[in-house]
Amino acid sequence: MTFKQKQFLILLALGLVFSSILRITFNLNDGFLFHDFSLTPPLPLFDYAAEGSQQSELTSTLIGYVFYLIAAVLFISEIKKNQRWLMILLGLIAITLYATYFEISAMVADMQGEYAGRHAWVGPTLFLLGLLIYFKSKNLPED
pTM for the predicted model, two decimal places: 0.86
Specify the pairing of strand 119-121 against strand 47-49. Answer: antiparallel
27 domain residue, yes or no? no
Q: Which residues pair with 38 in a beta bridge?
A: 23
For residue 123, give every residue at least 6 positions away whose Cβ sits within 8 Å of its Cβ, in sequence order, or none.
Answer: 15, 16, 19, 20, 42, 61, 64, 65, 68
125 domain residue, yes or no? yes
30 domain residue, yes or no? no
Q: Give residue-wise pLDDT tens across range 2-34.
A: 898 899 999 999 999 998 888 888 888 888 878
133 domain residue, yes or no? yes
Tally the domains of the chain: 1
Nearest to 9 by CA among 133, 142, 143, 140: 133
Q: How many CA atoms lie within 13 A of 36 on its CB side?
A: 11
**How far, CA to CA in Å, does 54 sit from each of 63, 102, 117, 118, 140?**
22, 17, 6, 9, 45
26 domain residue, yes or no? no
80 domain residue, yes or no? yes
Gyration radius from the chain CA atoms: 16
CB 71 within 8 A of CB 12: yes
33 domain residue, yes or no? no
87 domain residue, yes or no? yes
Q: Give residue-wise pLDDT tens across range 45-104.
A: 767 666 666 676 778 888 999 999 999 999 998 888 888 889 999 999 999 999 899 888
Give the structural domain span for 93.
Answer: 3-21+43-138
